[in-house]
Amino acid sequence: MAVRFPVIGNWFRRPNGALFEVVAVDEDDGTVEIQQFDGTIGEIDIENWPQLLLIEVSPPEDWSGSVDMDPDDYVGKSASDMPNGFHDPLEFLDKV
């Protein structure tokens, strides 16, 4: 399998199943900044990237992993009690 160079916006799965997205690549510092599915930010040395045994994957359908909103918090509440955009991430964007 060819080693994929980290590209901003690409998602990867570690051998333990953890998902993360590449959010920045700093070639001057030799680092790749990543955001785990749970929102945790981390950093990987570019020289270590090929040894990580990563699999490039599609972005997860459940976008709420890194957001501090748990669907269980809204169980039993009406749709009007739920914040705008809870089910549609595009609702959070400003409309012109």
Quick one: how far is CA 9 from the chain centroid? 9
26 vs 45: CA distance, rounded Å: 10
Q: pLDDT digits over 41-51, tens only?
A: 999 999 999 89
**Mean pLDDT taken over the chain:** 77
The burial class, CB within 10 Å (0-12 / 13-18 / 19+), for 32 is buried
Q: pLDDT digits over 57-71, tens only?
A: 998 887 555 555 555
Q: pLDDT digits over 6-52, tens only?
A: 999 999 999 998 999 999 999 899 999 999 988 889 999 999 998 99
CATH class of residue range 1-58: mainly beta
Strand stretches in the chain, DSSP E: 11-13, 19-26, 31-36, 41-45, 55-57
